[in-house]
Amino acid sequence: MPPRDGAGPRQRPRYFPLRRIRQLPQAVRDNGGVHQYRDDGVVLRTQKLGEADRIVTVLCRTTGRVRAVAKGVRRTKSRFGGRLEPFTHVDLMFHSGRSLDIITQAEVIRPYGAPLGGDYPRYTAGVAMLETAERLTPVDKEPALRQFLLLIGGLRALGEEEREPRLVLDAYLLRSLAVAGYAPALEECARCGAKSNGARLPAFAIAAGGMVCASCRPPGAASPSPQTVALMLALLQGDWEAAGRSERRHRVECSGLVAAYLQWHLEHSIRSLRHVERA
């Protein structure tokens, strides 16, 4: 090997023999691995933090709901500020922190929010979906794959022009409740289990869990029209053809019942539902 310029003869590097490193106590030779993980998810909510940071709540595919800090994203020159807007499906790299994780990288998979910003009724329906998803996943980092897939499907349907946003929202609310174990009973009595068998169940009792027969009907239960109940069933089962044929008055009644049912079972109000505008 030729000698290096001005460096004289090359010195042999000094290595610690491997057996000596193995003898060192754990705390000296290893700082502990920096825990990073990668997951994809939908941004549910962002909150301002400090000068230029944000706390971002994401519903992830495998990790479940995660609250993480995105540093400096409110600055105009932020590398990924625009990628962490609500409704965006993003591929994220997280760095585990003491209380909150830190988002270190973000790549957009699909910006579901792009068609919503310019359409106010769709935007308000979408925000109600995000808030519901957040409420239905109350525990941090508890996997909720079915809720995640349902939200992705709901946001995709919301971006389609031909579907009425409020119908998409009601379908999402009913199905997310079903995934969480609160599916309303629509074809049998929620109390005694008696099948309707073509006969009409007369009342919808929110506290009982859906439609009830005449003998189980509690005082104060709503009496929706049969078409409204049929619409709720169509939305729950994903029968868009039947739902699309429904009349406006039945849609309004259905929305009212779904909103009341959701908030009663969540034991929490969904603030954005008040602002949802019908197209």
**CA-to-CA dists, residue 76 to 57, 71, 82, 105, 113, angstroms:** 21, 13, 9, 17, 19
Residue from 118, 181, 198, 219 that binds other proteins (CB under 8 A)?
118
Minimum Å gap between C-beta 52 and other proteins is: 10
Q: Binder to other proteins among 41, 63, 68, 85 (CB under 8 A)?
A: 85
Is the backbone of residue 65 left (phi > 0), alpha (psi -120 to 50) or beta? beta
Shortest Å, Cβ 165 to other proteins: 13
From the list 159, 183, 152, the residue with the least C-alpha distance to 61 is: 152
Query: Residue 85 is encoded by which pair of tokens?
Result: 């807007």
Contact map string, positions 202 to 221, toward other proteins, x by CB under 8 A: --------------------
- Classify 133 as helix, strand or coil: helix
Q: What does the alpha-carbon distance between residue 82 and residue 44 come to, in Å, rounded to a whole number?
A: 14
Q: Does 63 sit near other proteins (CB under 8 A)?
A: no
Verify binding: residue 131, other proteins, rule CB under 8 A.
yes
Name the segment binding other proteins (CB under 8 A); options: 16-24, 27-35, 71-79, 147-155. Answer: 71-79
56 DSSP assignment: E
Q: 170 to 199, contacts with other proteins by CB under 8 A? A: none
Angle in degrees, CA 195, 196, 197, rounded to 5: 90
Q: Which is nearer to other proteins, 92 or 234 (CB)?
A: 92
Toward other proteins, which CB reaches closer, 112 or 148? 112
- Please give the Cα distance from 63 to 137 (Å, whole number): 11
For other proteins, the closer CB: 87 or 94: 87
Residues near other proteins, by CB under 8 A: 45, 50-51, 76-77, 79-83, 85-88, 106, 108, 111, 113-114, 116-120, 123-124, 127-128, 130-131, 271-272, 274-276
